């Protein structure tokens, strides 16, 4: 079995320790440019993403602004429905229901988390599976499990796109996903194991015994629990690919699940935090929006 670094294209930036940096900002820009080209080639139809933002949480506002900025770069139309924190469950559900029924809206994203007191699951149930660009509804998850066409979570899809664009082999490789959330861990496990990707996947979690030993067997290690510095150099075998999805806010700023400084000296590929999987999540939100338009017959196959 070849070292995962061996099939990577030349010319990518490396860390001081020699690991290839999986630059999410650069790959996002590539994907957005490709989406824009596809839309122009189809005659620039109005592919529309709608977001619903409830409350005035500053990080949520920033995330939503960035999504609309990138949508514009991709040549998409976007709407942002902004509601006060005290709008109430019924008002939020009315807005989502109206977007669900609007044939000019192809993708719907409800910015999470909603303020305290809201039933987020009830809101998500109102989003049709073919407009669920976050891949969070039960029907979307069911389609993923059964291998049916549909929309999958933006973050796990972003991880897959990074692996593809950096030439990291997956077939027959061992992957460990640390974290079993419905948002990242479980869908990513399914994507890595699906036919055509063909990784052998282990899910690790808070009850996993000997996490270091489990991770050191892997060619691909993904940290997705939100525990700062959980993955150290001791967890990583030489040449492995290490993907950091976890986010923690500390006094020093935003950090990930991976101790970057230590792990970069061992890994073959590594994502930075920030600047790794975060930008890819937005790129894949836009990819999902275009896929949604296709599923609805609003964009050529």
Q: What would the two tokens of residue 296 be?
A: 């609805």
Residue 198's CB is within 10 A of a number of other CB atoms, namely: 14
Which is catalytic among the residues 23, 67, 219, 244? Answer: 67
- Catalytic (active site) residue 134: yes
Sign of CA dihedral 222, 228, 234, 239: positive
Query: DSSP class of residue 174?
Result: E
Which is catalytic among the residues 23, 70, 111, 257? Answer: 111
Q: Return d(Cα 192, Cα 219) in angstroms, integer.
A: 12
Q: What would the two tokens of residue 132 be?
A: 């669920």
Residue 164's CB is within 10 A of a number of other CB atoms, namely: 12
Sign of CA dihedral 62, 68, 72, 73: positive
Q: In what order do the strands lie in the sheet with 48-54?
A: 77-83, 48-54, 107-110
> ∠195-184-50 over CA atoms, to 5°?
100
- Catalytic (active site) residue 67: yes
Which is catalytic among the residues 23, 130, 132, 134? Answer: 134
Q: Return d(Cα 127, Cα 100) in angstroms, integer.
A: 6
Residues 6+ apart with CB under 8 A from 207: none
Residue 144 near residue 190 (C-beta atoms within 8 A): yes
Q: Return d(Cα 190, Cα 184) in angstroms, integer.
A: 10
User: CA nearest 4: which of 20, 26, 25?
Assistant: 20
Query: DSSP class of residue 132?
Result: B
Residue 156's CB is within 10 A of a number of other CB atoms, namely: 28
Q: What residues are labeled active site?
A: 67, 111, 134
């Amino acid at each position: 079995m070849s070292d995962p670094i061996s099939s990577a294209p030349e010319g990518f930036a490396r860390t001081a320790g020699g690991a290839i940096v999986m630059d999410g900002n650069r790959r996002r820009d590539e994907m957005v440019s490709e989406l824009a080209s596809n839309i122009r080639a189809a005659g620039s139809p109005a592919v529309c993403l709608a977001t619903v933002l409830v409350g005035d949480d500053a990080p949520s506002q920033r995330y939503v602004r960035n999504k609309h900025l990138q949508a514009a770069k991709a040549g998409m139309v976007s709407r942002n429905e902004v509601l006060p924190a005290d709008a109430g469950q019924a008002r939020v559900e009315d807005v989502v229901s109206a977007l669900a029924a609007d044939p000019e809206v192809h993708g719907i994203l409800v910015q999470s988390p909603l303020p305290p007191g809201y039933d987020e699951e009830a809101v998500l149930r109102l989003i049709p599976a073919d407009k669920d660009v976050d891949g969070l509804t039960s029907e979307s998850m069911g389609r993923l499990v059964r291998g049916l066409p549909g929309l999958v979570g933006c973050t796990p899809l972003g991880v897959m796109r990074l692996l593809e664009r950096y030439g990291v082999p997956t077939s027959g490789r061992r992957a460990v996903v640390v974290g079993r959330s419905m948002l990242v861990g479980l869908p990513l496990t399914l994507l890595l194991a699906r036919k055509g990707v063909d990784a052998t996947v282990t899910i690790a979690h808070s009850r996993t015994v000997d996490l270091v030993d489990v991770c050191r067997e892997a060619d691909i290690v993904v940290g997705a629990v939100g525990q700062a510095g959980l993955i150290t150099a001791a967890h990583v075998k030489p040449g492995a690919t290490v993907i950091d999805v976890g986010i923690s806010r500390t006094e020093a700023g935003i950090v990930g699940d991976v101790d970057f400084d230590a792990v970069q000296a061992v890994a073959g590929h590594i994502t930075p935090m920030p600047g790794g999987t975060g930008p890819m999540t937005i790129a894949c939100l836009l990819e999902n929006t275009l896929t949604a338009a296709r599923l609805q017959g609003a964009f050529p196959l």
